[in-house]
C-alpha cells in the first residue's frame, strides 16, 4: 500500500508519519509534500498512490486547487483544523477526515474505514464534488480570524483584521502594520496567521509578508518572472512575489 502525506506543518507531518507506521508498518510512504506546487510535482513524476492524507490549508493555498489541475484517482483522507460545523460537508460527500490535532484512535478508525471501502470497490468513487466541499468549508466565515489583541504599555488593544495592511516577519518577530501607519508586534507566526486569515482578503506573497488585498496599489514586473508589489501605505522595503507564486497571486487579485 503506497501513501502520500500532504502537510505543510513539519511537526504534524512527522507525527502523522510515525502514527501511520505504528498502525500499518507494512505501508510504504511514497512521498511527502507541503504545498500545492510540491503536490503537483509529485503527481507529475510518480504513479498515483493508493491513499493520500491531505491537509486542507497548505502553505500556498487551499488544497482543492490541486483537484482543479489534476485528476486524482487515489483515495483521500483530509486533515483539517476546521470546526465540526464546517466538517459536515465531508459526511455529506462520504469523505473521511481527521480533525487536528490528529488522534491515534481517530486515525485508526479512518484507516479501518478506508480498508473496508477498498474491499468493497476496486476503485475510489469518482463522483465527489471537491469544489462543493471547498465552498462549504471556506464559507463558514467563523473559521477565520477577525481581530487581534496586541500589547501596549499599560494594557492591551484590540485591532480588527481589516485594519491591517500587511503582516511582516523579521528576526522571528511578527508585526502588523495598519492602514493608519502604526506597527504592532503580534504573538503569532506568519505560518499560523496564514492559516487563520481569510484567503479571499489576505495572501502570503513570500516568507516575510502577508498582504491585505486593500493594501495593494500597483504590481510591477521584475526579473525572472518575479513581481514587485507597491502598497498603500507604502512599505519601507521592496515586497517581492516569487516566480512560483506569481501566477496564483495574479489569480487571487483577479477573483
What does the pLDDT look like over 164-205, one tens digit per residue? 999 999 988 999 999 999 999 998 899 889 888 888 899 999
Residue 17: its H or E element: helix 10-23
Give dist(CA 102, CA 20) in Å, integer.
11
Total domains, the chain:
2
CATH number at residue 246: 2.40.50.1020
Same domain, 156 and 130: no
Three-state DSSP state, 11: helix
Q: CATH number of the domain that 59 lies in? A: 3.40.50.2300
Q: What is the pLDDT of residue 48?
A: 93
Determine the structural domain holding residue 108 and report its residue range.
Answer: 2-138
Residues of the chain below pLDDT 70 = 82-95, 121-143, 255
Q: How many Cβ atoms from other residues are within 10 Å of residue 211's Cβ? A: 26
pLDDT at 40: 95
The DSSP output letter for 232 is: S
Shared domain for 151 and 248, answered yes or no, is: yes
Report yes or no: 190 and 211 within 8 Å, Cβ to Cβ. no
Where a domain ends, among 108, 138, 168?
138
Structural domain ending residue among the three candidates 109, 138, 167: 138
Check whether residue 68 and residue 91 sit in a common domain. yes
Q: What is the pTM of this model?
A: 0.53
**133's grid cell:** 466541499
In the block, which residue shows the cell 502577508?
210
Alpha carbon distance 201, 252 (integer Å): 9
Residue-wise pLDDT tens digits, 1-17: 999 999 988 888 999 99
> In this predicted structure, what is the pLDDT of residue 92?
40
How many residues are recorded in the chain?
A: 255
Copy the grid coordinates of residue 138. Answer: 471556506
Amino acid at each position: 500500500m503506497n501513501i502520500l502525506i500532504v502537510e505543510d506543518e513539519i511537526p504534524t507531518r512527522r507525527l502523522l508519519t510515525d502514527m501511520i507506521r505504528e498502525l500499518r508498518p507494512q505501508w510504504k510512504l511514497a512521498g511527502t509534500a507541503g504545498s500545492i506546487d510540491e503536490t503537483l510535482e509529485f503527481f507529475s513524476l510518480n504513479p498515483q498512490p493508493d491513499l493520500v492524507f491531505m491537509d486542507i490549508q497548505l502553505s500556498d493555498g487551499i488544497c482543492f486547487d490541486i483537484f482543479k489541475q489534476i485528476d486524482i484517482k487515489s483515495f483521500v483522507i483530509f486533515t483539517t483544523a476546521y470546526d465540526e460545523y464546517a466538517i459536515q460537508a465531508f459526511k455529506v460527500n462520504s469523505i473521511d477526515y481527521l480533525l487536528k490535532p490528529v488522534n491515534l484512535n481517530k486515525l485508526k478508525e479512518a484507516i479501518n474505514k478506508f480498508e473496508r471501502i477498498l474491499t468493497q470497490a476496486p476503485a475510489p468513487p469518482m463522483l465527489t464534488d471537491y469544489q462543493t466541499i471547498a465552498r462549504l468549508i471556506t464559507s463558514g466565515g467563523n473559521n477565520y480570524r477577525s481581530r487581534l489583541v496586541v500589547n501596549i504599555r499599560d494594557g492591551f488593544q484590540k485591532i480588527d483584521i481589516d485594519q491591517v495592511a500587511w503582516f511582516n516577519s523579521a528576526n522571528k518577530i511578527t508585526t502588523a502594520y495598519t492602514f493608519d501607519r502604526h506597527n504592532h508586534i503580534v504573538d503569532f507566526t506568519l505560518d499560523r496567521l496564514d492559516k487563520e486569515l481569510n484567503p479571499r482578503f489576505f495572501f502570503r506573497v513570500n516568507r516575510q509578508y502577508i498582504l491585505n488585498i486593500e493594501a495593494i496599489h500597483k504590481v510591477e514586473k521584475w526579473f525572472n518572472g518575479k513581481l514587485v508589489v507597491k502598497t498603500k501605505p507604502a512599505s519601507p522595503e521592496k515586497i517581492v512575489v516569487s516566480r512560483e507564486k506569481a501566477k496564483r497571486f495574479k489569480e487571487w487579485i483577479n477573483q
